[in-house]
Homo-oligomer: A and B are copies of this chain.
């Protein structure tokens, strides 16, 4: 990829996160990338195409790493740790990219093709959680809900750290991992489930 294109993608990512899609101007992106306004149109068909390109690369990169780094067929806990590790290292490597995923998910300017690059990852995660629930390792909940809880833990930490209430460090993310696991793991049946709230799941 030409270097200017890469710089444009990076500048666009930053600015879209900071100011939103409609709040970011093309000349602004060009300036941050150190190129002329017109150059943006050499590499991208327009602003909408640009944001989709950014999103596709970010999501595609994450999906690819999940596909490569999560061991198929491994035991649930090992897979969980691999999944979490992929998200963690991705988030730590580029905080902006995570925020981008968070914010630009279902906006009107996001094309279906862009969302499609996430499909393999969605399937992978769904399979993981479905298998875990079936095995009794996870709570007997729909996989989407289990995913929502784990993703929520990650995004929650990320959001709070962006608000300045939390450091965004590996240490914090490791602690969050414990919470995320507990959120989805089937409670131990041995003891009288003392920490359960409300109706006990007996």
Task: Select which of B80, B147, B183 is within 8 A of A182 by beta carbon.
Answer: B183
Does any Cβ of B come within 8 Å of A149's Cβ? yes
Contact with B along A141-154 (1 / 0, CB 8 A): 11011011111111
Please give the count of copies of this chain that the complex contains: 4
Top 8 nearest A-B pairs (CB, nearest first) are: A152-B156, A22-B22, A152-B152, A179-B183, A183-B183, A148-B156, A148-B160, A22-B23
A: residues with CB less than 8 A from B are 18-23, 77, 80-81, 103, 105-108, 139, 141-142, 144-145, 147-157, 159-160, 162-163, 165-166, 172, 174-188, 190-191, 194-198, 201
Q: List 21 A-B contacts (CB under 8 A).
A: A18-B108, A20-B20, A22-B22, A22-B23, A80-B197, A106-B162, A106-B163, A139-B179, A145-B176, A149-B156, A152-B154, A152-B156, A155-B159, A156-B156, A174-B198, A181-B197, A182-B195, A185-B195, A187-B195, A188-B194, A190-B190
